[in-house]
Amino acid sequence: MKRLAFAILTASLSLTALADTVNINDPWARATAPGAPAGGAFMGLTADANMTLVGAESNASKIVELHTMKMENGVMIMRAVPQIDLPKGQTVSLKPGGLHIMLIGLHAPLTAGEKVDMTLRVKDSQGKEQRIPVTAEIRAMKPTAKPAAPMQHSH
Ligand SMILES: [Cu+2]
């Protein structure tokens, strides 16, 4: 049913019969504590052709950004990135401690067992934009990043 709805949406956006798209695998978001300003969302992305994730939207927060996370001088640092490349046929993993989607300015805490809707904006090699709806399951999960590392958010 979901697949059919998506096929109709894709067809309405493009006159080509078989539009390249991005397949989403296991989308989830991490549950947040009450009052937490931001939460992360994660998934696997596999594109049919060379494509680029250029942004995301959600009603769950004021802002949605694409982020990278890595250790620098012993500190976990997150940074916003303008886009994430999705090479043809390769699964790009958005996961804790790495690339992720950041929901900033949450309107309500992300509660385990509930779902959060997002829309991904991807561009193909001709620059044509597609909007891909994603429903992420909210899970309570311990960070896989080293727990002792202090975290710093830089923009
Ligand atoms: Cu982040």
The domain that holds 126 is classified in CATH as 2.60.40.1890
Structural domains of the chain, count = 1
Is 148 within a domain?
no
Output the CA 69–ligand 1 centroid distance in Å: 7
Query: Per residue of the chain (155 residues), what is the pLDDT tens digit?
Result: 566 666 665 555 555 446 789 999 999 999 999 999 999 999 999 999 999 999 999 999 999 999 999 888 999 899 999 999 999 999 999 999 999 999 999 999 999 999 999 999 999 999 999 999 999 999 997 655 454 555 666 66
Is 99 within a domain?
yes
Output the CA 121–ligand 1 centroid distance in Å: 18
CA distance 134 to 27: 7
Whether the model clears a pTM of 0.85, i.e. scores above it, the answer is: no
Is 152 within a domain?
no
Output the CA 68–ligand 1 centroid distance in Å: 7
Output the CA 6–ligand 1 centroid distance in Å: 28
CB distance 26 to 135 below 8 Å = no
Q: How far is CA 92 from CA 18, 82, 126, in A?
A: 22, 16, 21
Is 16 within a domain?
no
Is 147 within a domain?
no
Output the CA 109–ligand 1 centroid distance in Å: 16
Residue ranges making up the domain that contains 60:
22-142
* Residues measured by CB to lie within 5 Å of ligand 1, the ion: 67, 78, 102
